[in-house]
A and B are shown apart, each in its own frame.
Chain A
Amino acid sequence: MDTFEAFLAERLDPLLRYATTLTCDPHQAQDIVQEVVLRAQQRWDRISRVDLPAAYVKRMVTNEFLSWRRRTRDLVFPSTAIAELTPAVADPTGGVDDREVLLAGIARLPRKQRAAVVLRYYDNRTDAEIAEELRCSAVTVRSHISRAVATLRAQFTATCAMEAL
């Protein structure tokens, strides 16, 4: 990969898609990728010399998603406040797409669980690869994924039961 511009031409779209699945929020995804791209541009001389620059930059996106500053934002935005600040939008189809139900649940998962789920089910990574990305053990990865899937299944089942009434 010679230039940063060439790298971006090939990798920016996948990075944005990855960030969007992590955040479940295109606004925040753009914000995260914007910050990472600017930092990567500044350090490109060094990044371009690592074995897998794309993986390196992708990890920068993961780290930015998990960073403490973004977590403190959550602290001042309790879930009820988010609901209050976000105007409800009527579903024009009058029905509920199963995928939307699941996405709503994914968006409420704790960040490390969400990252583990995205790396497994969107990025098809192994436990070991996810552990390396999240800097934890493979056992912790399995625990994150297991708890996340159990939570999502429970929410999904409950929503489907409500729909059936």
Chain B
Amino acid sequence: MKTEEFDGLLRESLRLMATRAPAAGAVRLAGGNQARRRVLIGVALAIVVLPVVLWVGWPRPVLPPGDTGPTADRLDTPMTSGPTWLPPEFTERSRGRKFDGSQYRTFARTGEAPDSGQLLTFSYLLGDPGPNTPPGAPVANVEVNGHPAWLSGDGTDVVILGWSADSRQYQLDAQSTGLAGGELLRVAESVSAGRSDLLSTALVPPAGFELRDIAVHGTTAADAAMSMTLRGPFTVVLDVVPAPLPERYGDPVTVRGRPAQVFSLAPPVFGGHDVKLFVDLGGDRWLVARAQDERSASTLGPEDLIRVAETVGIGDTPPAPWMGLRP
């Protein structure tokens, strides 16, 4: 296909995608009364609070860390495999475990914005996972420390290296990293199966939900967040993040005895339901929960997600001293 034809197809494809946009009626505004009330409350608070602040100083945070809602003990999952060499400037950004028992670690260049998409992901599966096959036709058959391996990719942006050794399947997935196959091979050859690293979390799924993915992620140890994905009557993704979030305008609710806001989004294009919930856990931690049910006959509502958030076990975020460092 000629370049002009391909460009034309690209334009057509994007125009087709645009026709799937949700209807404007699905987007809500903060009501005028609500906005006016917010201003009036702000003025009233300023009149009452300002003299007090000037007299006794700024008040302590209203929401200190508390133990409302079910808690969870720290859970340490051993991560026995990992690279011992990384290309210059790469540091560790996340560790996780998936529903199939596989574990993964991601790495990015120091200073690389988390939104750059330039990630190196190392994943492995223990036990006897069967043959390790490439997602498409391999571009090269290579060896990693004497074990047969394959290199796969689209020739430009994504390179994947897979191999099996010591009853484990290994995979290195480099996305937009600019790393060549040779560098991936060097990372692969440094992989040690005898490491004593940990994935430490403090989240417990509520009854009726199956854990699909649990992870710790961030840029440095100071901004480590815990996440888990659950599947039950609907899919739920939960994040416990360390930073306060921007002000939102959802419906105010109380969850785990804490102030919270809930959004109910109902995309009219594909049907289904999508609910989002933000809970101020105190101590500069927020629970961000999202429930999705793509069935057009879904009855998912805010109360369903609130029930999950009320019953999920949440403990203190364990330290992640490895985050932002080289192995």
Contact = CB atoms under 8 A, between A and B. Distances in A.
Interface of A: 4-5, 8, 12-13, 16-21, 24, 26-27, 29-31, 33-35, 37-39, 41-42, 66-78, 80-81, 84-87, 98-100, 102-103, 106, 109-113, 117-118, 121-122, 147-156, 158
B164 interface: no
A13 B106 contact: no
B211 interface: no
Given A26-B22, A78-B98, A122-B11, 5 more contacts: A12-B24, A16-B27, A30-B265, A110-B116, A155-B154
A27 B154 contact: no
A99 B16 contact: yes
Given A41-B29, A72-B239, A85-B229, A20 B213 contact: no
A71 B119 CA distance: 11
A34 B96 CA distance: 30
A75 B117 CA distance: 10
B48 interface: no
A142 B13 CA distance: 20
B16 A121 contact: no
Interface residues of B, number: 77
A20 B17 contact: yes
A110 to B, nearest CB: 3
Chain B interface SS verdict (over half):
mixed
Contacts of A110: 116-118, 157, 175-176
Interface of B: 1, 6-7, 9-24, 26-30, 35, 93-94, 96, 98-99, 104, 106, 113-119, 121, 123, 136, 154-158, 175-176, 212-213, 215, 217-218, 225, 227-229, 231, 235, 237, 239, 241, 246-249, 263, 265, 267, 269-270, 272, 274, 276, 292, 294
Given A27-B292, A30-B267, A150-B155, A72 B114 contact: yes
Contacts of A27: 265, 267, 270, 272, 274, 292
Contacts of B13: 98-100, 102-103, 106
Contact of A149 (B10, B113, B225): B10
B229 A76 contact: yes
Nearest to B158: A151
A33 B156 CA distance: 32
Contact of B155 (A12, A29, A154): A154
A26 B265 contact: no
A75 B24 contact: no
11 contacts: A26-B270, A30-B26, A34-B263, A71-B116, A72-B225, A72-B227, A73-B239, A75-B227, A84-B99, A98-B9, A110-B175
Nearest to B250: A38
A34 to B, nearest CB: 5
B156 A154 contact: yes
Contacts of B213: 76-77, 81
Contacts of B212: 81, 84-85
Contact of A151 (B106, B121, B157): B157
B157 A147 contact: yes
